[in-house]
Amino acid sequence: MKKYYAIMFADVAGSTKMYDTLGDVEAEKQISWCIQTMSDITRQHGGHVVKTIGDEIMASFVSADDAAEAAIEMQNSISGDPSNALKIRIGLQYGSAIERDKDLYGDAVNVAARMAGIAKALQIITTEDVFKQLKPALVDKTRLFDRASVKGKSAELHIYQINWEEESQVTRFATSLDMKKINAMKQAIVLKILDEEKLLSVEDFTAAISIGRDDSCGISLDAQYASRSHATLDLRRGKFILIDQSTNGTYVQFNGQEELFIRREEIMLQGEGSISLGESVSSGSPTVMRFSVLQAG
């Protein structure tokens, strides 16, 4: 009989290298501690450890919220601990599965394993099936990350990343703006462009704001690799969405994360980070934009 579960796969990133650098005894000791810690946290959040496979655990939860909160605590307890070198990666999915011989089988299991395979060290990766189930406090920690093909699925899946690190609700670079005005807003985005700060509130998004080299753009930038009309910034269902419509694409880097590249695609902006039109954020171009999304607490 099929039942619905939130499925988690979590494993130690780079465990093979650990055996080379630490030696078998120490590597085994640290990985065993990690597996035990992840198992304990699973149970604390009402989950069930289905099985352990080497440096990986598979777990099930009643709800997506329980799985996401357990994943966040795992990352904080293990990856966020500066006293150890262990880093973990986690994949989540919500859906139906069949229980047989104390194991789980089915589409949700396969997709969760695929999400764990996509995840890199320090990441929690999941799908729209989980995203739709999350409570508002967890939705605020989640952003659209990429698209991915999954075996057995005819269409690509939208995949999401859950941020587990605490972020300041007010931008760290918006020092010259009127903070009383910022605090009075329920929602806004701050863009820092060529040392000038631009505060855009919900009221400014009567239509999408264009970004590009053309003077007619709402945000005009003389960036070397930018198109005349390179991208737009829109507000949808309370989320700030950056939509690329260029030839050279757009680079986005969220604080503490790897750089992402989009071309003729869109991405949800959350927290703080950088945007560069047509060239990497690391290029050091003066036209790289800093952003911070502000949400009322």
Domains in the chain, start-ordered, CATH in brackets?
2-162 (3.30.70.1230), 177-295 (2.60.200.20)
- pTM, two decimal places: 0.60
Q: Residue 223: CA atoms inside 13 Å, Cβ hemisphere, count?
A: 33
Q: Which pLDDT belongs to residue 173?
A: 45
Q: For tokens 């990856």, what's the residue? A: 79
Q: How far apart are CA 273 and CA 255, in angstroms?
A: 5
Summarize pLDDT for 254-289 with one digit per residue, the tens. 988 889 999 999 999 988 899 999 999 988 888 999
Whether the pLDDT of residue 31 is over 80: the answer is: yes
Are the beta carbons of 242 and 249 closer than 8 angstroms? no
What pLDDT sits at residue 92? 98
Helix 24-44 × helix 64-74 angle, to 10°: 140
pLDDT (average), residues 127-141:
91
- CA atoms of 268 and 28, how far apart (whole Å): 39
Q: Are strands 142-148 and 187-193 parallel, antiparallel or unpaired?
A: unpaired
Residue type, 179: M
pLDDT band for position 163 (cuts 50, 70, 90):
confident
The predicted model gives 167-176 an average pLDDT of 42
pLDDT band at 170 (very low <50, low <70, confident <90, very high): very low
DSSP lists the bridge partners of residue 261 as 251
Lowest mean pLDDT segment, chosen from 109-118, 153-162, 176-185, 193-202: 176-185
The per-residue pLDDT for 295 is: 59
Question: Per the structure block, which two tokens stand in for 167?
Answer: 């972020």
| Whole-number pLDDT of residue 242 | 95
Q: How many CB atoms lie within 10 A of CB 225?
A: 17
Mean pLDDT of the chain: 85
- pLDDT at residue 37 tops 90: yes
pLDDT higher at 141 or 229: 229
Q: Residue 175: pLDDT above 60? A: no
The pLDDT, as a whole number, for residue 187 is: 64
What share of residues in the chain are helix, strand, coil (percent, to 5)? Answer: 25, 40, 35
Instruction: With H, G, I as helix, E, B as strand and everything else as coil, classify residue 94.
Output: strand
CB 197 within 8 Å of CB 204: no
Of 282, 255, 284, whose CA–CA distance to 270 is shortest?
A: 255
Measured distance CA(38)–CA(51) in Å, rounded: 12
Cα-Cα end-to-end distance for the chain: 43
pLDDT in tens, 185-217: 556 778 888 778 888 887 788 888 999 999 989
Say if residue 80's pLDDT is above 80.
Answer: no
The secondary element (H helix, E strand) that includes residue 34 is helix 24-44
pLDDT band at 93 (very low <50, low <70, confident <90, very high): very high
